[in-house]
């Protein structure tokens, strides 16, 4: 095949190459990728072959603006050529391939490392890094998303690998030497990484092998062994909490990143959390960093398996955050002083906020203003989950807790189809199995939908703590640490 490589720096371009493929060639999957690692040029050369499934043209998207740092991501998509007529629309992140009939299409392009040296904002941490001794790329920055109605599969084959082992969250047992076939969605919402000094550790939990990819920074307290201990304990605790035997492998990736003010930051992907930490870190597993990790891994359940629609972030973020406190306190990653401090900070932030009373349906319209609007659903949902925990515990004479409600909600989500959002009505109906039906509807509507703050000294609490009010501000004190922690066991 004689490819004429054309650099595409203009807004859009047309190019065409000759193709010798036969119409009847069969492929492994709907889309078939071959990847060549070319470290000296800091790029991966990508070859894609497929049979068209739509008439006239195929529209393919590169990058995902919903994820941070993706606005100019198209600068890293270069040298695209195709066996058919093709238009590259840089502004809209689109590649449009025009075809006739079902003749096989070949498309080639390079993914270039466009990472800049110097101070970085959090969202830039997740752009492709393609180096001699380190590779980091999210699937959405390597593969293309076809605009096709039906679910599609894709195969991935490495023609030339880097000289270090790779970890791909869509097929974490494979070091790149075998062909992988997964759905396009699984492949896009993934991380592929590896490097010199990057440890890949297999962690069996139940019948499933899970994976940790970790790059230590050389400080004696920041070791693979310690991170492995955290992941093993926290992930097992989550599987136990959710009575979920974890049938699919989960992958946790943690790597240091250049110069950043953030201690830890990451992105939840399918069956995976991809994160970066400050390379100057001396203690990695602080209470706050383990909170970030458990919260993000927690989205494997709340957010992936159990969701309300996106308007109800008080559930997706707030309930997930309360369960993060629950799990980290029960496993000793959060001390009772740490719980008190963080909850009292949460009360100050929420009850002291000028936008405290914003109705739920107005939060999204203010989302881009940032600040308190970003955090209001977290604060509101965490405090509500804490109150429901106390109410359910009180109602059942200590026999049940928020966990029983969450497990019932998980059953409803499974019956509804994984990832398909449950309605607010289902949330309320399920809660009414644990609390008086007459109270439940007004509790949810008054506090989560209309946005009125709860009066915390008017509700029964989980055992071992008390709330006092000073200047309209609640303050939590853990009065009996043993009793308090035993609630979460
Ligand atoms: Zn979250």
Helical pair 320-330 and 224-241, crossing angle rounded to 10 deg: 120
In a domain, 357, yes or no: yes
Q: Give the Å distance between the CA of 322 and the centre of ligand 1.
A: 11
Between these two residues, 190 and 27, which has the higher pLDDT value? 190
User: From CA 444, how far away is CA 437, in angstroms rounded?
Assistant: 11
In a domain, 453, yes or no: yes
Note whether residue 468 is domain-resident.
Answer: yes
317 alpha carbon to ligand 1 midpoint, in Å?
5
What are 465-484's pLDDT values in tens digits? 999 999 889 999 999 999 99
The two beta strands, 251-256 and 208-214, are: parallel
Distance 364 CA to ligand 1 centre (A): 15
- Cα 403-404-409 angle, rounded to 5 deg: 95
Position 71 confidence tier, pLDDT thresholds 50, 70, 90: confident
- Per-residue pLDDT of 164-208, as tens digits, reads 999 999 999 999 999 999 999 999 999 999 999 999 999 999 889
How far apart are the CA of 469 and the centre of ligand 1, in A?
Answer: 29
Distance 177 CA to ligand 1 centre (A): 34
285 CB-side CA count, 13 A = 21
Q: 100 alpha carbon to ligand 1 midpoint, in Å?
A: 45
CATH code, 357: 1.10.390
CB atoms within 10 A of CB 307: 20
Q: How many CB atoms lie within 10 A of CB 51?
A: 19
Residues 403, 406, 409: CA angle, nearest 5 degrees: 155
Q: Is residue 183 part of a domain?
A: no
Residue 228 lies in a domain: no
Of 119, 16, 140, residue with least CA distance to 74: 140
What is the distance in A from the centroid of ligand 1 to the CA of 291? 11
User: From ligand 1's centre to the CA of 12, what distance in Å?
Assistant: 37
Measured in angstroms, how far is the CA atom of residue 196 from the centroid of ligand 1? 31
For residue 24, what pLDDT band results from cuts at 50, 70 and 90?
A: low
Given a cut of 50, whether residue 355 has pLDDT beyond it is yes
Check if the beta carbon of residue 113 is closer than 8 Å to that of residue 132. Answer: no
Tokens read off for 41: 């040029």
What mean pLDDT is predicted for residues 30-54? 96
Q: Identify which of 78, 71, 62 has the alpha carbon closest to the alpha carbon of residue 9.
A: 78
Ligand 1 center–CA 318 separation, angstroms: 8
How high is the pLDDT of residue 72?
Answer: 83
Main-chain dihedrals φ then ψ at residue 180, nearest 5 degrees: -110, 140
| pLDDT value of residue 263 | 87
- Model confidence at 55, pLDDT cuts 50, 70, 90, reads confident
The average pLDDT across 317-345 equals: 98
Distance between Cα 293 and ligand 1 center (Å): 10
Token pair in block for residue 439: 């109270």
Please say whether the beta carbons of 226 and 333 come within 8 A.
no
For every residue of 155-201, DSSP letters joined together read: EEEEEE--SS--EETTSTT--SSS-EEEEHHHHHS-EEEEETT-EEE
d(CA 296, ligand 1 centre) in Å: 6
Q: How far is the CA of 268 from the centre of ligand 1 (A)?
A: 8
d(CA 276, CA 266): 6
> CA-to-CA distance for 82 and 98, rounded, in angstroms?
10
C-alpha 271 to ligand 1 mean position (Å): 15
- Place 119 in a pLDDT band, splitting at 50, 70 and 90: low
Given a cut of 70, whether residue 2 has pLDDT beyond it is no
Tell me the CA–centroid distance for residue 377 and ligand 1, in Å. 10
CA of 466 to the centre of ligand 1 (A): 28
Say how many Å lie between the CA of residue 315 and the centre of ligand 1: 10
Look at residue 370 and give its three-state secondary structure. Answer: coil
Please say whether the beta carbons of 320 and 311 come within 8 A: no
Provide the 8-state DSSP code for 398: T
Question: Checking DSSP bridges between strand 145-146 and strand 14-15, what pairing results, if any?
Answer: unpaired
Mean pLDDT of the chain: 91
Ligand 1 centroid, distance to 273 Cα (angstroms): 11
For the chain, give the percent of residues with pLDDT over 90. 79
State how many domains the chain has.
Answer: 1
Per-residue pLDDT for 69 more than 80? no
Cα(370) to centroid of ligand 1, in Å?
A: 15
- In angstroms, what is the span from residue 251 Cα to ligand 1's centroid? 17
> Domain range holding 450?
313-487
Listing DSSP states for 78-132 in one string gives EEEEESSEEEEETTTTEEEEE-STT--EEEEEEEE--PPSSB--GGGGGS-EE-S
Whether 426 is in a domain gets the answer: yes
Asked whether residue 454 is domain-assigned, the answer is: yes
What pLDDT is stored for residue 443 in this prediction? 96
Domain-embedded: residue 470: yes
Cα(294) to ligand 1 centroid in Å equals 10
Distance 454 CA to ligand 1 centre (A): 23
CA of residue 299 to ligand 1 center, whole Å? 7
CA of 279 to the centre of ligand 1 (A): 23
CA of 295 to the centre of ligand 1 (A): 6
Contacts of residue 482, defined as CB under 8 A and 6 or more positions apart, other chains included, come to 464
Distance 160 CA to ligand 1 centre (A): 36
Is residue 223 predicted with pLDDT exceeding 60? yes
* Rounded Cα–Cα distance for residues 375 and 382 (Å): 11
In angstroms, what is the span from residue 444 Cα to ligand 1's centroid?
A: 21
What distance in angstroms lies between residue 379's CA and the mean position of ligand 1's atoms? 12
Task: State the Cα–Cα distance between residues 72 and 61, nearest whole angstrom.
Answer: 14
| Interval between CA 14 and ligand 1 midpoint (Å) | 41
Ligand 1 midpoint to CA 307 (Å)? 12
- CA–centroid distance, residue 20 to ligand 1 (Å): 48
Specify the residue for token string 């703590």: 465
- How far, in Å, is the centroid of ligand 1 from the Cα of 292? 9
Instruction: Classify 413 in phi/psi space as left (phi over 0), alpha (psi -120 to 50) or beta.
Output: alpha
pLDDT greater than 90 at residue 262 = no
């Amino acid at each position: 095949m004689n490819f004429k490589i054309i650099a595409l720096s203009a807004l859009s371009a047309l190019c065409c190459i000759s193709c010798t493929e036969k119409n009847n060639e069969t492929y492994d999957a709907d889309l078939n990728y071959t990847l060549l690692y070319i470290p000296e040029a800091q790029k991966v050369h990508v070859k894609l072959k497929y049979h068209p499934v739509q008439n006239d043209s195929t529209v393919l998207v590169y990058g995902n603006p919903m994820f941070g740092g993706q606005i100019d991501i198209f600068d890293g998509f270069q040298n695209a050529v195709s066996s058919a007529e093709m238009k590259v629309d840089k502004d809209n992140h689109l590649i449009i391939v025009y075809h006739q009939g079902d003749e096989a299409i070949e498309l080639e392009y390079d993914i270039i490392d466009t990472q800049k040296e110097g101070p970085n904002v959090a969202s830039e941490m997740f752009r492709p890094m393609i180096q001699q001794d380190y590779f980091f790329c999210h699937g959405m920055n390597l593969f293309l998303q076809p605009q096709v109605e039906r679910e599609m599969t894709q195969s991935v084959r490495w023609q030339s690998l880097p000289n270090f082992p790779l970890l791909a969250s869509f097929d974490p047992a494979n070091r790149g030497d075998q062909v992988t076939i997964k759905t396009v969605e699984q492949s896009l919402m993934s991380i592929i990484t590896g490097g010199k000094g990057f440890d890949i550790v297999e962690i069996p939990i139940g019948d499933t092998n899970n994976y940790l990819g970790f790059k230590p920074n050389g400080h004696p307290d920041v070791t693979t062994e310690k991170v492995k201990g955290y992941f093993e304990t926290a992930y097992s605790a989550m599987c136990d909490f959710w009575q979920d035997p974890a049938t699919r492998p989960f992958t946790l990736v943690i790597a240091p990143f250049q110069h950043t003010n953030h201690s830890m930051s990451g992105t939840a992907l399918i069956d995976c959390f991809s994160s970066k930490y400050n390379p100057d870190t001396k203690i990695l597993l602080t209470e706050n960093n383990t909170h970030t990790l458990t919260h993000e891994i927690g989205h494997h359940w709340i957010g992936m398996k159990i969701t309300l629609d996106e308007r109800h972030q008080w559930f997706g973020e707030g309930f997930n955050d309360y369960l993060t406190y629950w799990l980290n306190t029960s496993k000793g990653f959060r001390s009772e002083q740490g719980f008190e401090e963080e909850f009292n900070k949460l009360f100050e932030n929420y009850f002291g906020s000028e936008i405290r009373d914003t109705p739920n349906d107005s939060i999204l319209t203010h989302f881009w203003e940032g600040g308190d609007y970003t955090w209001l659903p977290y604060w509101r949902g965490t405090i509500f989950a804490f109150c429901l925990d106390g109410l359910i515990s009180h109602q059942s004479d200590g026999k049940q807790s928020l966990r029983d409600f969450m497990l019932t909600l998980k059953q409803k989500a499974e019956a509804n189809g994984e990832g398909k959002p449950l309605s607010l009505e289902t949330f309320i109906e399920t809660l009414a199995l644990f609390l008086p039906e007459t109270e439940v509807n007004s509790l949810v509507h008054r506090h989560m939908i209309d946005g009125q703050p709860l009066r915390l000294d008017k509700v029964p609490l989980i055992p071992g703590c008390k709330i006092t009010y000073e200047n309209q501000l609640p303050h939590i004190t853990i009065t009996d640490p043993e009793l308090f922690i035993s609630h979460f066991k």
